[in-house]
Each structure stands twice: as structure tokens, then as C-alpha cells.
Amino acid sequence: MKYFLTLVFLLTAFFSAQAQVFAPADNMQMADPIDWEATVEKQNDSIFTLIFTATLDKGWHLYSQEVDEDGPIPTTFTFTSKEGIELLGEMEEPDVPAIYDDVFGMDIKFFKDEAVFEQQIKVLDPGSLIEVEVEFMVCDDEQCLPPDTVPFQISLESGNATQGYTDVDVSEKDQLQTQALDIEIQGWAEFQPEEEEASGYWTIFFLGFIGGLIALLTPCVFPMIPLTVSFFTKGAKTREKGLFNAVLYGVFIFLIYLLLSVPFHLLDSVAPEILNNISTNVTLNIVFFVIFILFAFSFFGYYEITLPTSWSSKMDDKASSIGGSLGIFFMALTLALVSFSCTGPILGSLLGGSLTTDGGATQLSFGMGGFGLALALPFALFALFPNWLSSLPKSGGWLNTVKVVLGFIELALAFKFLSNADLVEHWGILKREIFIGIWILIAFGLMLYLFGLIRFPHDGPKKKLTKTRFAFGTLTFIFILYLFPGLTNSGFANLKLLSGFPPPLFYSVYEKETEGPLGLTAYKDWDEGLEVARAENKPIILDFTGWACVNCRKMEEQVWSNPEVYDVLKNEYILISLYVDDRLELPEHEQFNYVREKGGIKKIRTIGDKWATFQTVNFKNNSQPFYVLLGPDVELLNQPVGYTPNEEEYLNWLRQGLEKFQNVAQK
């Protein structure tokens, strides 16, 4: 198991490497730094050479066909139609040395200015029409564009190569459906995006800080506090020097955890739907489910998940041999490595939570910063006030109790990731009541453990039940009682305190009147909902949501459930809920190639593909939840909003839209 975490990081790096940097959501103009050209060179009557030339703008580079799987997207050539020809050998590319890439942290072959690729073919039928798709990814020193595909049709008879899609490739249906996806919104010019509020960032900073405090109470970290502080305060020549070193040690701990989030900032300027695609990716959610299960049983004491001991030994040797500030840095890095068996699962929760919301890398940085600060503070504070060390409780069995409790929490969180995958794919294996039932069983196991009725491998000799364990056991029992109404088909099943964690109320084992949130009638198709709004002459609330969107569930179950809000939504508006992460395939006749303004296509194959593109094209936004109030003539009634947990504020926003609609109707 000691190399397991290495695998986790590689998996995370794989998904990160595929996160392509794109212009921010408020600037949807796409960069176009590369041009492709295809030519045919005749060697003899049967042997031809296909030549593909990429010309790049200054500062941009194109990646080789030979790239490690955890690196960027390689350039690939796919012959979608090659009847009448035989490929001779592999596609040849320029011979360039691999150069270290700061973005991906590895040696990579890439091309600047121009790259020429050649493929020899043997012609069996001179009248053949060859179709080739070139998939590639280009980057500069700061950003990468999303992988793109350029198709070519090559006629051997004429020697002409046509780039892009012919009438056959992009049909009239594709063009019509592309146009239909781009709606004309009246009053859009009045829309001015609000500045992003920082309150959410400080919330996750605080949660990260709490996570760091919890990590301090684990057997891997807590015993290190007095040992490390004593080393600095007693080992230095002067007290001032010892204090400085201890504080510097704490600063380095903070910086190390903050720096762990830096690679994920690749995700903050990605193609509009990529963050959502990653957070709702079924494979990724299942990977996190398995990881959290393994973390949980590690906390239970059945095995330890650690980084390779050679890593920590190497850092320890460097700390001892270098000395000075750099040596202190390596000491801090050693602590981060050796304590990973306890801090890793907590950090995993923070990472998983950030990737499954719309916060992305910025929230992750705030969370990591809070986590690192909580770990660093004790080393600095106890160095400044060494007398406080005597007030610390002694290490003992209580530290293992903390780990086991964390194990139960990890186990509960694991099923949240499995639930995300289940919702997106509509498997129906974790309906709301089944999910809540599993949490009840986990909470019941935790209660039995706290009351001393079940034990785990590293628990010490059985002792009299302490007041602390009894208190937490009682709280767990109260939590179980709170969960039980969630199993019923009653008005008490909402469980507002847990909104966002269980599946939505309508994803139930019980038969519901509608498939909308809280029993509301929700149209899941724009055209259908618009038709109803026009027939009933009612305004529209356009709800861009997601099956795995936590804040969407919070809005529905905490804000929409407010009687006044619910009444307005039910009686005054036509609700259109568009799920941008729905992986169900569209019927074949509804699938099409979305033609981008500057060329290239996006394949619209799933319901989520369609509505995610619909959102970014028309509203220049890719976050969920995202609410837009429109009149039946598609006029914007007020400024769209996102996550708005304040019931009164959201109700006023709804009423403002109604007032604007009524004023327009009277004119």
C-alpha cells in the first residue's frame, strides 16, 4: 500500500493534464494560434507521401505524438476513411529533443514556429478519397487551449486536400441545429456581470483550517509538536535564533501545502465546460469513491497508506546536510511526507470537494492555505511561548480514537462520490433513501465504536467510557434520529441541514408526481419550456443545474423550499431546468456537430453537451447553479444570479423579475 498515494497523484495529474486552459467565462473569444495545411507528394505511381504542416504563432508550441499519458494531449492523426490505400510505417515527425516543461513538470517533445508530419502510403485505388482527423493541443508559457480537431479530405486523383468539413461532414441539419442553439436575448446589453464575491473563498479557507486542526490531533502529527519545538528552541545558539527558526519552519509548512494547489490553477481558465466535466466525470468520481474507502480502512487501522519511505529519508538527509533556511525547508517537507498517512485522507476530502464544486483551483488554494496555516501555527506559537508545551495533553489512545472517527467520516463521504456517478449516469442504485440508509448504518457503527461496543486493531486496552466519548456518541445517536425521516415519503424528508449531500428529493424510491425539485413542474428542454411559457404568458426561470451540483441541491432544498419562494416558483414562473452534466446520449437524430464561429466543431452527443454549450454560447457563463429570468419573448428581466443562499435576497430577485415582466406586458 505504500505506493498507493503515488498512484493517486498520477491519476489526479492525468485529469489535470487534460484540463485545457481557455479564455475566462466573461471573454468567450477563442484564440487561434495555429494553422494546418495538408499536401500530397507523389513518389511514384503507387507510393505517395501525405504532408501535414502546422504553422504556429510566436510563443505557442504544438506537442509531439510521443507524450507520456500523464502529460499534455499528444498530436494524433486518425484515418477515418482509408479504403484504397495502405499505410506504410508510422507518421513521421520532426526530430527534436525533449525539453523540460514547467507546466507539466516533465520532459516533453514539442514544436515551435512550424512542424511537418509525413505519412507514406501505398495506393491501391487511385480514385480513393482519404479522410484524416488531426487532434492536437497547443500551449504558450501561460496557458493551453482545449484539444481541437481539424479534419482533412484528400483526393489522390486531383492531389487536393480540403481542410474542414465539406457538405457531407457538416450537414444542413448541423448548421440548423447550431443556429437553433444560439438564441437572441433581448436586453442582454444591460447585463453586467457582478464581481465575484470572496466570501465563499474564506468559507473554504475556514473549513481547510478546521481540517488542519483535525490533522493536528492525529498520531502522525501531534507527537511531532513538542519534539520539533524543543529541537529548535534548545538546539539554537541563541533563543532569538531558535524562535526565528521555529517560526520559519511554520511558514514553510504553510507554503508547502499552499503550493500543492498550484498545478490545479490550470483548471481555472479552461474550456468553458471542462471543470464541470471533470467534477462530474464518472470515472473520476468512482476513483474518489475507491480512494476514500481505502482511506477509511487505513484510518480504522487495518493497514497504512504512506508515501515511499525513500522520499522522506531523502528529504531528511537533505535537511541534515544543508542546514540554514534551506535545511529548515526540507525539514518542513519531511514532516509533510511522513505525516501523509494521516493528513492525506483529509487533504483528499479537500481536493475532492473542490473538484466537485464550481470553485476550482482558487477555492482549493484557499482551502490548502487554511489547512497549512492550522498545521503551522502550533510550531510557531509553542516556540514563542514554550511554557505552553506543558499544557498539551499526552499522546495516547485518544489519538487513535480521532483517526477511527475520521475513518467513519471518510466512509460516509465516499458514498457521496459514488452518488455523483449514479446521478449522472442514472443507474438508480443510490436513490435518496438508500443513500440515507447507508449513512444511518455508518453513523450507527460510529455510535457503537464511541460507546466502546466495537473495537479496531490499534485500540488500546478497554477502559471505562469517558465523558467525551459518551458525549460524542450521544450526538451521533441524535444525528441518526435526524436522518430517519429522510427514509420516509413525508414532508419531513427534506433534511435541510444536509442539503447537497444526499441525492435530490425527486431521485427517490417512492413514486413522485413530477421529476422536478420539490415536486415542482420542471421542463428539461428549452424549446418545450419556452412553448409552455408563451402559451400561458408567464415568465421563465431558466435553471442551469447539474445532477452532481452540491450548491444546486442546497438552493433547491434550503431556498426553494421556503414557502414564499416555492409559491412564486410554482405559480408565477415556468421552470426550465437544464442539466449540464447529464451523460445520457441524445437520440441519434438530435446529435449534431456544433459549428464554432472560428471553425472547428464540438460534437453534441449527450444531453449535457447540448445544455452546457447552450449556456456558454448564450450567457457567457459556465457555473452552476445559474439562474436567468426571461420573458416569453426571450427578453432578459433582470441580472442573472448564481448561488444565492439568502432566502429573502432570492425572493426579492424573483419578485423583481415579475415586476419587470408585468411592466413590459402593460406597454
Q: Which one-letter DSSP state was computed for residue 393?
A: P
Decide if 78 contacts 132 (C-beta within 8 A). Answer: yes
Q: What would the grid cell of residue 148 be?
A: 481541437
Asked whether the whole model's pTM tops 0.75, one would answer: no
Q: What is the pLDDT of residue 24?
A: 30
Using CA atoms, how far residue 443 sits from 202, 372, 434, 602, 605, in Å, is 29, 29, 14, 45, 41
Q: Give CA angle at 235 (233, 241), nearest 5°.
A: 60
The Cα–Cα gap between 301 and 466 comes to: 21
- Domain boundaries of the chain, sorted by first residue: 34-169, 517-666
The per-residue pLDDT for range 120-159, each reduced to its tens digit, is 988 888 777 888 888 787 776 645 554 566 778 888 777 7
In one-letter notation, the amino acid at residue 317 is D
The Cα–Cα gap between 63 and 413 comes to: 38
Decide if 306 contacts 343 (C-beta within 8 A). Answer: no
Task: Compute the average pLDDT of residues 497-505.
Answer: 75
The Cα–Cα gap between 354 and 265 comes to: 12
Where on the phi/psi map is residue 89: left (φ > 0), alpha (ψ -120 to 50), or beta?
A: left
**3-class state of residue 18 by DSSP:** coil
Q: Give CA angle at 13 (12, 14), nearest 5°.
A: 90
Q: Which residues contact 79 (CB under 8 A, 6 or more apart)?
A: 87, 130, 131, 132
Residue 152 forms beta bridges with which residues? 132, 163
Cα atoms in the 13 Å half-sphere on the side-chain side of 246: 29
Q: What would the grid cell of residue 408 be?
A: 467513519
Q: What is the pLDDT of residue 266?
A: 57
Q: What would the grid cell of residue 373 be?
A: 496555516
pLDDT-derived band at 104 (thresholds 50, 70, 90) equals low
For residue 625, is the peptide bond before it cis, meaning its omega torsion is within 30 degrees of 0? yes
Residue 55 forms beta bridges with which residues? 35, 114
The Cα–Cα gap between 352 and 346 comes to: 10
The per-residue pLDDT for range 615-635, each reduced to its tens digit, is 878 887 767 788 999 999 989
What is 517-666's CATH topology?
Glutaredoxin (3.40.30)
Nearest Cα neighbor of 613 from 574, 647, 586, 651 is 586
Q: What is the pLDDT of residue 168?
A: 44
Using CA atoms, how far residue 530 sits from 187, 522, 536, in Å, is 17, 12, 10
- Residue identified by cell 428549452 is 526
pLDDT-derived band at 105 (thresholds 50, 70, 90) equals low
Residue 613: in which H helix or E strand, if any? helix 607-619
The Cα–Cα gap between 235 and 237 comes to: 7
Considering only 282-286, 334-338, 423-427, 528-532, which range has the smallest mean pLDDT? 334-338
The per-residue pLDDT for range 236-268, each reduced to its tens digit, is 556 677 677 777 877 888 888 778 777 666 554
Q: Is the pLDDT of residue 580 over 90?
A: no
Task: Compute the average pLDDT of residues 451-462.
Answer: 84
Q: To the nearest whole number, what is the mean pLDDT of the chain?
A: 75
Decide if 154 contacts 129 (C-beta within 8 A). Answer: yes
What is 34-169's CATH topology?
Immunoglobulin-like (2.60.40)
Q: What is the pLDDT of residue 556?
A: 87
The Cα–Cα gap between 68 and 53 comes to: 23
Decide if 399 contacts 219 (C-beta within 8 A). Answer: yes
For CA atoms 544, 550, 555, 556, the dihedral sign is positive
**3-class state of residue 20 by DSSP:** coil
Residue 541 forms beta bridges with which residues? 575, 629
The per-residue pLDDT for range 181-193, each reduced to its tens digit, is 777 777 665 654 4
Q: What would the grid cell of residue 155 be?
A: 483526393
